[in-house]
Chains A and B, each alone.
Chain A
Amino acid sequence: MLDMIIIDGLSFSLPLFIMAIGGIYSEKSGITNLALEGFQGFGAFTGAFVTIYLYGIFGAESQVPYYAGFICAVIGGGIFALLHALLCVKFKADQVISGVVMNILAMALTSFLTKRINASFFGNDANKFMLSASARITVPGLCDIPIIGAAFRDIYPFEIMILVVAVVMWYVMYRTVYGMRLRACGDNPHSADAAGINVYSVRTIAVFISGCLSGIAGMSFAYSVSANFSPDIYLGYGYLSIAALIFGNWSILPALFACLMFGFARSMGAAAIHQLGLPSSYNDLVRTLPYVLTLLLLVFFGKSNRSPRALGQIYDKGQR
């Protein structure tokens, strides 16, 4: 019971977390990113396609398709995100509108492509890519610790990947030259420009990174939530991670806590329904829990947060 809450909670929180980091990269550089939802979906689509394609070569038991799938999800999400960067940075479009457009485009395009690819590559007319179940890892020894041992049981491999990537991304953001310049662009792009920094390229790279990280998240959801890729992946997790990064005040570590809170709210709700023996239709109600929680938290904590100062402002060199 408690084990299930922890295991499910973590497997939901961590993808949310890596996507929130992606959002933080984009927004800290000054580009509003409502497009995480679309990025993760497009990443998952690319990854899932490559994975099932490789099943045909390596067989469904091999680990190669699994990891190759994640790598391609990263690339796919990143490339799709470049479109957002192109619109926002190069063509100076309104970032909110561009973000919403990206989400709609991802949803429509991946549904369409999934059907077409299924028809022409795999000879069926399904609207989803069926993935085989992910391997699970249990850390011997640690898993026997009472209560928190569950955190080391039945771990998806992607959870470990995410933690490693998260640490690297934290380091890049706060300790490297690029991170320092990125944060400067989000606060005052004019000062960054005056310091000889190319604001446009810093922002483009930041949006690309947000797409890559969202790709990891999308692929993770494809495995953990449904074991397939279908348009059902657009359940609003991208928006949830935006909520998490806002609670986290655009900082990586606090965003982790927000994600954990959302994840456990969800898994606890599911466990409660299971325990009370309610019909499965109540599961849909449980899915709303993180969002309800979001609303409540926004009411109480929304005011104290401070977004990057230049967030959403179109940067035009020539402007006085």
Chain B
Amino acid sequence: MAENIVEFRHITKRFPGIIANDDVSLSIKEGEIFAVLGENGAGKSTLVSMLFGMYEPDGGEIYVRGKLEHINSPRYAGSLGIGMVHQHFRLVSNYTVAENIVLGLEPVRKIFGVIPSVDMKKANHDIAELSERYGLKVNPTDVIENLNVATRQRVEILKMLYREAEILIFDEPTAVLTPQEIASFIDIVRGLREQGKTIILITHKLNEIKAVADRCAIMNRGKLIDVLDVKTASTDDMARMMVGHDISFTTERKPARFGGVILDVKNLTVKNAAGLDAVKNVSFQIHAGEVFAVAGVSGNGQNELADSIAGLVKISGGTVTLNGHDITNATVREHITKGVAYIPEDRHNVGLVLDFTLRDNFPLRQYYTPKFSRKGVLSESEFETYGEKLEEAYDIRSGQGGATITRAMSGGNQQKAIIARELDMKTPLIIFMQPTRGLDAGAVMNIHRHIVDERDRGAAVLLISLDLDEILDCADTIAVIYNGSINKISPASEISTDEIGLYMMGVKTA
């Protein structure tokens, strides 16, 4: 039996208003792939962040290789051979791959034996070798900002390996990857284990755990529920423990009853920031009571499509008609009053004012109406009661209720707040852009429920997602976007997953 390389003993960690970890004890064996499973806010990130020295526990002890350690900084964690890949990568965007990897441990040579200088030639050579050794393909001289997410992730992994880390922590590593990239990531992780590394995987995706992990700890609301052997545990059991009750993986729904046309998009063309056509001559209609889902690989014009219909970017050709009103290039305010709700992909920059409190974020689209302001003066009390109403109705949890600064909330609750704000307007059209990105199973189910409920209420729903499972779960009609054009529109029941995949890759065109 392998030795315990890391041991958490009775770890407790509190944040204002929340106990993130409540007396958690668990041990991780050398050379295993250990998954920590839990919903957002379950405390799994907090737990491993303490192993990496980003927080210090309020109570309890951490043992590394049998020795009690007070890990007070990532630097010290590094010296213990612990490395971490954060969910949001920590890379310097205008540096090359090699510069990023050696940063902090730069090879130095002396010019004329005296003047110190960073030896980039050696760095590039070392990184190329490292990349070769572990089969992580990168080009040392590429600049980070030109690389895709999967490559950046490989850079992060190499960064740990360059520091000779033995314990590798991954925080939600697959949240931003495509299915193909996830498959290759899983291969990478297996390869690392074969090299003798210990891997800690924080995730809420059960199928990945099933595919790659040896053991799995399940956390719920700060408490450790159980540690399971993945081979013998069933996904249903794990899911139940994670959310604390049974969940089903498909959203139950009544057959759709389409009403009249709500959104009519004709020959829509939109340019991206670089001035190129990102959406090309796209036409479709969405009826009342219909979930119209757009599938596609990231970067095929989805952002521009959603933003243009929501009125955030300029439409360079074609028309958008809502309930018979032309809203092409109308102002955002007109979009709101005509009835467009938008759940944007970028929660932090578009969805919320992060430094506002929760209750100030709710009326962002309505604050000017008589309900919330009289003669230009905002009604504090109305903000408060409205906030309480939405927190209650949408089960939004936060440290200090309506007075919580939204920046301090977990991703899942931030998204719930946006959804509450948008859905409460009861608009005829709702646009969901990547609504469940980075969220856990419980939150995903909850959002899918909302999508279907809105449809049943008679709203037209435009759902744009990179997650095919999500689209299959919710859609009445599936459209596939490739390179800015809609390749295929089909009733959901009449198209197979494989077929969608072929359209997504542009192999098949209608």
Residues of A168-225 contacting chain B, CB below 8 A: 171, 175-177, 180-181, 183-184, 187-188, 190-197
Nearest Cβ on chain A to B90's Cβ, whole angstroms: 4
Cα of A181 to Cα of B103 in the assembled complex, Å = 7
Identify whether the interface residues of A are mostly helix, strand, loop, or mixed. helix
Residues of B74-124 contacting chain A, CB below 8 A: 74-75, 78, 84, 86, 89-95, 99-100, 103-106, 108, 115-118
Nearest Cβ on chain A to B409's Cβ, whole angstroms: 10
Cα of A177 to Cα of B99 in the assembled complex, Å = 11
* B84 closest partner in A (C-beta): A194
- B118 A191 Cβ-Cβ under 8 A: no
Q: Kindly supply a per-residue 1/0 record for chain A positions 290-320, scoring 1 wherever the CB is within 8 Å of any chain B CB and 0 otherwise.
A: 0000000000000000000100000000101
* A188 closest partner in B (C-beta): B92
Question: Residues of A contacting B55 with CB < 8 Å?
Answer: 318
- A194 B90 Cβ-Cβ under 8 A: yes
- B92 A194 Cβ-Cβ under 8 A: no
Nearest Cβ on chain A to B86's Cβ, whole angstroms: 7
- B117 A187 Cβ-Cβ under 8 A: no
- B91 A177 Cβ-Cβ under 8 A: no
Question: Residues of B contacting A309 with CB < 8 Å?
Answer: 93-94
Q: A193-B74, A194-B74 are in contact. Are A181 and B104 (CB under 8 A)?
A: yes
Question: Residues of A contacting B100 with CB < 8 Å?
Answer: 191
Residues of A135-186 contacting chain B, CB below 8 A: 171, 175-177, 180-181, 183-184
- B92 A196 Cβ-Cβ under 8 A: no
- B78 A196 Cβ-Cβ under 8 A: yes
Cα of A76 to Cα of B449 in the assembled complex, Å = 66
Question: Residues of A contacting B89 with CB < 8 Å?
Answer: 191
* B74 closest partner in A (C-beta): A194
* A193 closest partner in B (C-beta): B74
Number of A-B contacts (CB under 8 A): 62
Question: Residues of A contacting B91 with CB < 8 Å?
Answer: 188, 191
Q: A193-B74, A194-B86 are in contact. Are A177 and B106 (CB under 8 A)?
A: yes
Q: A184-B95, A188-B93, A191-B92 are in contact. Are A196 and B104 (CB under 8 A)?
A: yes
Nearest Cβ on chain B to A42's Cβ, whole angstroms: 31
Cα of A181 to Cα of B94 in the assembled complex, Å = 13
Identify which of A177, A191, A318 contacts B116 (C-beta below 8 A): A177
- A177 B92 Cβ-Cβ under 8 A: no
Cα of A177 to Cα of B106 in the assembled complex, Å = 7
Nearest Cβ on chain A to B481's Cβ, whole angstroms: 30
Q: A190-B90, A191-B90, A192-B103 are in contact. Are A176 and B95 (CB under 8 A)?
A: no
Q: A190-B90, A309-B93 are in contact. Are A184 and B103 (CB under 8 A)?
A: yes
- A180 B106 Cβ-Cβ under 8 A: yes
- B116 A180 Cβ-Cβ under 8 A: no
Nearest Cβ on chain A to B52's Cβ, whole angstroms: 9
Question: Residues of A contacting B99 with CB < 8 Å?
Answer: 180
- B92 A184 Cβ-Cβ under 8 A: yes
Question: Residues of B contacting A195 with CB < 8 Å?
Answer: 90, 103-105, 159
Question: Residues of A contacting B90 with CB < 8 Å?
Answer: 188, 190-191, 193-195
Cα of A177 to Cα of B117 in the assembled complex, Å = 7
Question: Residues of A contacting B103 with CB < 8 Å?
Answer: 180-181, 184, 191-192, 195, 197
Nearest Cβ on chain A to B489's Cβ, whole angstroms: 40
Q: A175-B117, A176-B118, A180-B99 are in contact. Are A192 and B106 (CB under 8 A)?
A: no
Question: Residues of B contacting A196 with CB < 8 Å?
Answer: 74-75, 78, 104-105
With A176-B117, A196-B75 given, can you name 13 additional A-B contacts, CB distance below 8 Å? A171-B115, A177-B116, A180-B118, A184-B92, A184-B103, A187-B92, A187-B94, A190-B90, A191-B90, A192-B92, A192-B103, A194-B86, A309-B93
Q: Closest 7 CB pairs between A and B? A: A195-B104, A191-B90, A196-B75, A194-B90, A196-B104, A195-B103, A187-B92
Residues of A at under 8 Å CB distance from B?
171, 175-177, 180-181, 183-184, 187-188, 190-197, 309, 318, 320
Chain A to chain B contacts (Cβ below 8 Å), 28 pairs: A176-B117, A176-B118, A177-B106, A177-B108, A177-B116, A180-B99, A180-B103, A184-B92, A187-B94, A187-B95, A188-B91, A188-B93, A190-B90, A191-B90, A191-B92, A191-B103, A193-B74, A193-B90, A194-B74, A194-B84, A194-B90, A195-B90, A195-B105, A195-B159, A196-B74, A196-B78, A197-B103, A309-B94
